[in-house]
Amino acid sequence: MLPMSRTAILSLALGLTLLAAACASAPYTGRRQLLFTSEGRETKMGYQAFEQIKRQYKLAGNPDTNALVTQVGRRIADAAQRPDYRWEFVVLEGKEANAFCLPGGKVGIFTGLLKYTKDEAGMATVISHEVAHALARHAGERLSQSMLAQAGGIGLGAALGGVGSLAGTAIMQGYSLGAQLGILLPYSRTQESEADRVGLILMAKAGYDPAQALEFWKRMMTTDKGGKLPQFMSSHPNDASRLRELQEFLPEARKYSVPAQEAQSPPPPGIPAATRPSLAPAAPAAGRWIPAP
């Protein structure tokens, strides 16, 4: 039996890794995923990125906006059923119309997005969409994709005559690139569509009417028409496709619907439930409007 070349060994190792990674699947949708990293590693990166972001951007000072984001965020977090996440919800000063949920449950809303969210239902749409990205480990997928590209470079380097420190360098670059792609830059259209679908389910589980999500997306699509798309909509499906898919996802999401009062998490120990603020179901005529920053 002839000895295996270094290139063959690397190719075999990569193939075995791909085989193992193919066993992962996204929650609710069951889509097969390519995931090379552990969720713990992704979460650690998410927490590190969140601290950097909070140092880079000023926290918004409007107490009403902050309270509403926290209130809506907690409802969505309860629906997500990830008590292992260290949930945190912040509003950040920034002109960009953008939001994020980092691995591990760190959620940020930029004030530039408030002109689109407008009310509680709109904010629930944004937070549930971003939380869906985290639940489906889309950041991990993007990181894995970048690592796969780096692994290809390693194989190429081996085929050309040597690896040396190239392997370690490429892997570290893969992690760095993956953090940027998976956390701070837009996701692919497939992942965006999946986040729309899972987001509607989370809204329903949190006691919101998932149909109200369409109103938010329509505002995003019609405002500033003809100009540059908000960052929140980068790499998303086109308008007609997105609205059509949202309509198609609604029947599935409604199967998860619960009354708003049942969706509230229990009050902290020692605080009577009667002292909690009422969280009425989100509806166009009864939505809480978000004050301007």
Give the mean pLDDT per block of 10 residues along the chain (293 residues).
Answer: 50 53 80 88 91 93 96 97 97 92 95 94 97 94 74 48 51 54 65 95 97 94 58 64 94 91 53 34 40 45
Residue 172: what pLDDT? 55
Query: Of 42, 120, 130, 192, which one is the catalytic site residue?
Result: 130
Residue 6 lies in a domain: no
Residue 238 lies in a domain: yes
Cβ-contact 247, 265 below 8 angstroms: no
Residue 280 lies in a domain: no
The CA-CA-CA angle for residues 237, 242, 243, to 5°, reads 160
Domain with 127, as residue range(s), is 40-137+186-263
Residue 50 lies in a domain: yes
Residue 48 lies in a domain: yes
**Please, which residues bridge with residue 101 across strands?**
107
Residue 227 lies in a domain: yes
Residue 207 lies in a domain: yes
How many angstroms separate the CA atoms of 114 and 230, rounded? 12
**Phi, then psi, of 289 in degrees rounded to 5:** -85, 140
Number of domains the chain contains: 1
Residue 265: what pLDDT? 53
Taking each helix axis from N to C terminus, what angle separates 138-159 and 189-205, rounded to the nearest 10 degrees? Answer: 160
> Active site includes 130?
yes
The pTM assigned to this predicted structure is 0.75
Task: Name which of 3, 262, 260 is nearest 121 in CA terms.
Answer: 260
**Please, which residues bridge with residue 91 across strands?**
109
The CA-CA-CA angle for residues 139, 121, 226, to 5°, reads 70
Residue 172 lies in a domain: no
DSSP character for 111? G
Residue with tokens 């009577």: 272
